[in-house]
């Protein structure tokens, strides 16, 4: 970087953090690498043929869908989402309560822009999805973290921490949570904690961002109500995405929430990208409207269930189970593995030599920690590669443990 550029950088640019997952893509894409790192869907299950059949919408409505669109989103897609999400939302959201976004991560970005001043605080799980927390940090956020167990955020600790933050003059603007099949933890928030979390937010006068990209990818158990459906005071913003239930290349997500906040986020979006690709929205709409979303989704879920089972089987075959801790996810994409006697960074370096990659845990902790944990995505690798990769990982763990005892 030249001296001139350095002298002109903003204060924000001086503190900005990159995504460690994006930064390591050049490593995990090397030939022969078995990657459990990026949270990527399996392209083998993309509904290519079904999606392609909807391309005739470009001939039918090309003059409209190839033009700039309204920032709020393509009206037919919004109408579909209102009806399709109604069972989860507890009602059919109105058009001014829905915003189409460029992926669900943009919901977090726009909500942060709308609510946060630099130095304000956001509550999140410990750990949390680094893609969103890094963006929040880059916009000036501080983080108040709440630990998790197998039932999600330990909400019982939240009132005391909020009270302490208030006494210290900290402005807490919203609570960021991933209640279903958490990224990276794999856990799911219990019904009791969902109810308690909404009640606390209402009493404390803070918003909740309910990030739910994995909610439809459930392998077993009953669906739990969304936080949005439990809220009668308008404190919950819901974020959904087609990335995990159709394909991430569409870059189409949505926000459902209080119309005044949706309007403010829309104004920010006008300056960010004008509108989400109208072509992508129209193609997604045609796919959904023709019944393919509901028809194909069970195939996606079954496909990923088998992949989860393959990873769990490999864990039991190859890992030193007395040295590892993990929760079996009931859906989603991830295992979170903790190795109390092995540093994840050391394991990562040695695993790379055997052409196996994962994501170390530390970046998922906005306030530090996670040195003995790492995230494993089970959706991308084939079952055969999963078996080989976990075998190599187990061998590496035993090498490290043997050296430490020697």
Span 265-304, pLDDT tens digits: 999 999 999 999 999 999 999 999 999 999 999 999 999 9
Mean pLDDT computed over 125-146: 95
pLDDT in tens, 315-331: 999 999 999 999 999 99
The phi and psi torsions of 185 (rounded to 5 degrees) equal -75, -25
Mean pLDDT computed over 183-211: 98
Residues 6+ positions from 118 with CB-CB distance below 8 Å: 139, 140
pLDDT in tens, 339-377: 999 999 999 999 999 999 999 999 999 999 999 999 999
Mean pLDDT computed over 48-58: 84
For the entire predicted model, the pTM comes to 0.94
Is cis: bond before 127, omega within 30 of 0?
Answer: yes
Mean pLDDT computed over 26-45: 84
Beta sheet of 359-360, edge-to-edge order: 334-338, 373-377, 359-360
How confident is the model at residue 26, as a pLDDT? 66
- Structural domain boundaries of the chain? 3-47+296-405, 49-292
The phi and psi torsions of 121 (rounded to 5 degrees) equal -120, 145
pLDDT band at 192 (very low <50, low <70, confident <90, very high): very high
Residue 37 scores a pLDDT above 80: yes
79 by Cβ neighbours in 10 Å (0-12 / 13-18 / 19+) ranks as: middle
Task: Judge: domain 3-47+296-405, CATH 3.90.1150.10.
Answer: yes
Mean pLDDT computed over 28-41: 85
How confident is the model at residue 276, as a pLDDT? 96
Mean pLDDT computed over 230-240: 98
pLDDT band at 127 (very low <50, low <70, confident <90, very high): very high
CATH numeric code, 49-292: 3.40.640.10
Closest CA to 237 of 278, 267, 198, 200: 198
Average pLDDT, the chain: 93
Residue 135 scores a pLDDT above 80: yes
How confident is the model at residue 21, as a pLDDT? 64
Query: Rounded to an integer, what distance in angstroms lies between the CA atom of residue 303 and that of residue 315?
Result: 19
Residue 25 scores a pLDDT above 70: no
pLDDT band at 24 (very low <50, low <70, confident <90, very high): low
181 by Cβ neighbours in 10 Å (0-12 / 13-18 / 19+) ranks as: buried
pLDDT in tens, 75-116: 999 999 999 999 999 999 999 999 999 999 999 999 999 999
Residue 66 scores a pLDDT above 70: yes
How confident is the model at residue 290, as a pLDDT? 93
């Amino acid at each position: 970087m030249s001296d001139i550029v350095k002298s002109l950088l903003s204060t924000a640019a001086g503190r900005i953090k990159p995504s460690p997952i994006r930064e390591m893509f050049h490593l995990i894409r090397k030939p022969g690498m078995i990657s459990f790192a990026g949270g990527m869907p399996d392209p083998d299950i993309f509904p290519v043929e079904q999606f392609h059949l909807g391309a005739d919408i470009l001939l039918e409505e090309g003059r409209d869908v190839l033009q700039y669109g309204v920032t709020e989103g393509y009206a037919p897609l919004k109408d579909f989402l209102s009806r399709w999400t109604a069972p989860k939302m507890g009602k059919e959201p109105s058009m001014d309560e829905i915003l189409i976004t460029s992926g669900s991560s943009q919901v977090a970005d726009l909500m942060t822009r709308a609510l946060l001043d630099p130095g304000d605080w956001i509550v999140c799980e410990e750990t949390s999805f680094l893609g969103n927390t890094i963006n929040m940090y880059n916009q000036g956020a501080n983080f108040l973290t709440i630990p998790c167990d197998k039932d999600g955020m330990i909400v019982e600790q939240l009132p005391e921490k909020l009270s302490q933050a208030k006494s210290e003059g900290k402005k807490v603007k919203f609570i960021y949570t991933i209640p279903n099949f958490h990224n990276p933890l794999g856990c799911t928030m219990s019904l009791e904690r969902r109810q308690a979390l909404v009640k606390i937010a209402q009493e404390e006068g803070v918003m909740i961002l309910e990030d739910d990209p994995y909610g439809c990818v459930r392998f077993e158990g009953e669906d739990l109500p969304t936080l949005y459906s439990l809220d009668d005071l308008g404190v919950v913003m819901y974020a959904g995405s087609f990335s995990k239930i159709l394909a991430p290349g569409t870059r189409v997500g949505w926000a459902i929430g209080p119309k005044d906040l949706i309007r403010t986020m829309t104004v920010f979006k006008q300056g960010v990208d004008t509108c989400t690709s109208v072509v992508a929205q129209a193609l997604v709409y045609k796919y959904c409207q023709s019944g393919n979303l509901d028809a194909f989704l069970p195939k996606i879920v079954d496909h990923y269930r088998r992949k989860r089972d393959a990873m769990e089987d490999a864990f039991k075959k190859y890992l030193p189970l007395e040295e590892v801790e993990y929760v079996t996810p009931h859906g989603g994409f991830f295992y979170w593995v903790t190795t109390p006697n092995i540093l994840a960074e050391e394991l990562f370096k040695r695993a790379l030599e055997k052409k196996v990659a994962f994501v170390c845990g530390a970046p998922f902790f906005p306030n530090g920690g996670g040195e003995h944990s790492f995230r494993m995505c089970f959706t991308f690798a084939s079952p055969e590669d999963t078996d080989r990769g976990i075998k190599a990982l187990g061998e590496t763990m035993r090498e490290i443990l043997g050296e430490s005892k020697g």
